[in-house]
Amino acid sequence: MCRMHQPDSVQLHSECRYTECGRCTQEMKSLRNDYKNQSTSTVEEHLTPECVEIANTAFRHWSTSQQNDGPNQDIYGPILRNIQVKQEMMMEQVKVILKTVQDLHEKCCSDSGSDPVLEKDILPLQDLTSMQQLESDLAVGGDLKKKLITLLGIQGGIDVRDTVWRIMRQTFTNSLAKQLNWRGINGKTCFHSLHIKDIVIDAVRRNSVTSRATTQEIEMWIKRRLHLAADRDGGRRARMERQRKNSYQESGEMHVLSSHH
């Protein structure tokens, strides 16, 4: 008989088949610690061989439960998060490497003169007149369209947005882009019906990264590029300044009106 514990405290609860029982877990730890930390004489003094066996069984049961349950989740959680972070870092590095390679390819093509030869310096288009002339030339046919697609297709890009941005920047000056929108509303020129629209889409797909981009996705970023044209080259700052001045004027007028009343 154990002289340290009551008989019912050294036995595992027969009805407990799971390790969540706090009473069992606490008794397992206590029995094992008593057995491990005390000297042989102390163990022999307090524990009978039956109690020692119970302590060993309890400890093995508790150790197995620790390996199969919650603590492993605590260990694996940070590991999985660390793997995810490193994967995201690797993806960003791959994008940087890809962009660098594309920039080098563009520079090599320019230096070696392997760009498609155009009869004159067409791009970027400066104004509506030059754009209308290009549209007329494209309507005639010939290999001009193919040359333009090849020229714009080597601009590179790490995703659809970046590729569209690069191609549109090479195709139009921002001052011309301000005069365009997708549907041609508000007195602007309709981009949707231009031959150059099809050239931009085909050029985007020449990039290996965006070769499977859908027409809908490409058009979405074209629209976005045109929509933001007014904010570039200091446009946003100028607009905010105008809004600020208008706000001051309105507040001044309201003050004058209130003073008269």
Mean pLDDT within 96-121: 66
Whose structure tokens read 């809908």?
A: 216
Q: What is the pTM of this model?
A: 0.54
Higher pLDDT, 186 or 243: 186
Q: Model confidence over 24-65: pLDDT tens digits?
A: 555 555 655 554 554 444 444 444 555 556 556 655 655 565
Mean pLDDT calculated for residue range 126-133: 95
Is 80 exceeded by the pLDDT of residue 157?
yes
- Arithmetic mean of pLDDT, 123-149: 94
Give the pLDDT mean for 204-214. Answer: 91
CA distances from 96 to 33, 89, 101, 102, 158 (A): 56, 11, 9, 10, 8
pLDDT at residue 40, as a whole number: 44
Among 34-43, 153-162, 245-254, which stretch is predicted with the lowest mean pLDDT? Answer: 34-43
pLDDT surpasses 70 at 254: no
* The pLDDT value given to residue 45: 47
Tell me, what's the pLDDT at 19?
43
Tell me the DSSP string of 133-197.
Answer: HHHHHHHH-SSHHHHHHHHHHTT--SSHHHHHHHHHHHHB-HHHHTTEESS--TTPEESTTSHHH
What are the residues whose beta carbons fall under 8 Å from the beta carbon of 38, sequence distance 6 or more?
Answer: 46
In terms of Cα–Cα distance, which of 63, 72, 67, 1 is closest to 28? 63
Which ranges of 38-69 does DSSP label H, i.e. alpha helix? Answer: 40-46, 49-68
